[in-house]
């Protein structure tokens, strides 16, 4: 570190200025702070997709014939929407922690200044917060996957791979969510996140096959990150696995890389440069 004219410390170097190799310290801090949190609020994120599954999968599903997947496999409506709701569960858990919680810590709690005054670098903070958000997404999704198993909605042994897929989805949304949040200044800006998430939930082939939409709408839907998560998990839980699913994995890998780069640069610009 070097001293600036104003008397504040400034990190020198390249890698050392960004990374101390200790993101788990940020995760540990989050887990300790969670002990005093309202668990009713935490659990609400888990029950939301469960209620959707009960109301739509069982209620509406009784009036809908079997859904035909792209490979010709026919599944019940409940088995069709359940993996989509699993992806939504992972997204919601990751987004909540990487947006609202990060926004408060960044603008009101002033926690990141303290973290970056230690040996931690901005990449440690970014990865630590994202990993903590992933944990929340994983908890939500694991519980929902158990409900799917009990309800007989996991139609193939490949459903066990849904958990790694859930981690990938949560990682992608958490990294991009934190990157976007680092540019927001007021609580009103946070409303933009809900304005994006709601259309994604409704139009990412979660409740209806994508083939029900016009071709130009299908192209827009396929640009949504949630659509890629829905298709990935739906293929795993129904057994409709194919090589093209690697495209969905690559989409999230790029999403993670972009989110980490922007978050790290933003934290360094805000607190170190």
DSSP string, 105-167: IIIII-HHHHHHTTT--HHHHHHHHHHHHHHHHHHHHHHHHHHHHHTT---SGGGGGHHHHHH
For residue 107, name the pLDDT band (cuts at 50, 70, 90).
confident
What proportion of the chain, given as a percentage, has pLDDT over 90?
A: 28
Which of these, 235, 218, 227, 270, lies nearest to 252 by C-alpha position?
A: 227
For residue 272, name the pLDDT band (cuts at 50, 70, 90).
low
pLDDT for position 79 = 92
For residue 8, name the pLDDT band (cuts at 50, 70, 90).
very low
For residue 5, name the pLDDT band (cuts at 50, 70, 90).
very low
For residue 1, name the pLDDT band (cuts at 50, 70, 90).
very low
pLDDT for position 16 = 56
Q: How far apart are CA 195 and CA 94, in angstroms?
A: 17
Q: Which residue has the higher pLDDT, 231 or 29?
A: 231
Q: Which residue has the higher pLDDT, 115 or 41?
A: 115
Beta pairing partners, 124: none
Q: Which two tokens stand for residue 164?
A: 């790694």
Q: Which residue has the higher pLDDT, 204 or 5?
A: 204
Most confident of 23-32, 41-50, 119-128, 155-164: 155-164
Residue 10 has pLDDT above 80, yes or no: no
Give the pLDDT mean for 24-46: 74
Q: Which two tokens stand for residue 15?
A: 């890698």
Q: How far apart are CA 202 and CA 189, in angstroms?
A: 22
Residue 4 has pLDDT above 70, yes or no: no
Q: Which residue has the tokens 């939504």?
A: 88
pLDDT for position 41 = 61
- What's the pTM value of the predicted model, to 2 decimals? 0.85
The chain-wide mean pLDDT, for the chain, equals 84
φ/ψ of residue 90, rounded to 5: -65, -40
pLDDT for position 38 = 57
Contacts with 57 (C-beta within 8 Å, 6 or more apart), sequence order: 77, 78, 81, 82, 153
Residue 14 has pLDDT above 70, yes or no: no
Q: How far apart are CA 271 and CA 123, in angstroms?
A: 13
Q: Tell me: the pLDDT tens digits for 42-83?
A: 666 677 788 888 888 878 887 888 888 877 788 999 999 999
Alpha-carbon torsion, ordered 83, 181, 260, 125, to 10 deg = -110
CA angle 255, 213, 81 (to 5 degrees): 65
Residue 152 CB neighbour total at 10 angstroms: 10
Give the pLDDT mean for 163-188: 89
Judged by DSSP in three states, 31 sits in helix
pLDDT for position 7 = 44
pLDDT for position 3 = 44
pLDDT for position 64 = 83
pLDDT for position 169 = 94
pLDDT for position 17 = 65
């Amino acid at each position: 570190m070097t001293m600036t004219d104003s008397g504040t410390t400034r990190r020198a170097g390249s890698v050392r200025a960004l990374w101390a190799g200790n993101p788990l310290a940020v995760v540990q801090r989050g887990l300790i702070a969670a002990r005093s949190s309202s668990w009713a609020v935490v659990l609400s994120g888990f029950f939301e997709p469960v209620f959707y599954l009960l109301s739509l999968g069982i209620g509406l599903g009784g009036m809908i014939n079997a859904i035909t997947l792209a490979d010709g496999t026919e599944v019940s409506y409940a088995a069709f929407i359940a993996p989509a709701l699993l992806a939504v569960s992972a997204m919601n858990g990751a987004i909540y922690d990487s947006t609202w919680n990060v926004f408060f810590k960044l603008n009101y709690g002033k926690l990141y200044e303290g973290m970056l005054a230690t040996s931690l670098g901005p990449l440690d903070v970014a990865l630590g917060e994202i990993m903590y958000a992933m944990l929340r997404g994983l908890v939500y999704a694991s519980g929902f996957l158990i409900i799917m198993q009990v309800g007989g909605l996991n139609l193939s042994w490949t459903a066990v791979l849904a958990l790694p897929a859930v981690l990938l989805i949560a990682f992608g949304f958490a990294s991009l969510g934190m990157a976007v949040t680092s540019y927001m200044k007021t609580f009103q800006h946070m409303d933009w996140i809900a304005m994006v998430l709601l259309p994604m939930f409704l139009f990412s082939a979660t409740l209806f096959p994508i083939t029900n939409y016009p071709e130009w709408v299908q192209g827009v839907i396929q640009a949504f990150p949630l659509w890629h998560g829905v298709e990935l998990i739906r293929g795993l839980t129904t057994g409709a696995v194919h090589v093209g699913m690697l495209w969905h994995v690559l989409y999230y890998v790029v999403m993670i890389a972009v989110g980490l780069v922007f978050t790290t640069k933003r934290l360094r610009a805000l607190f170190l440069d």
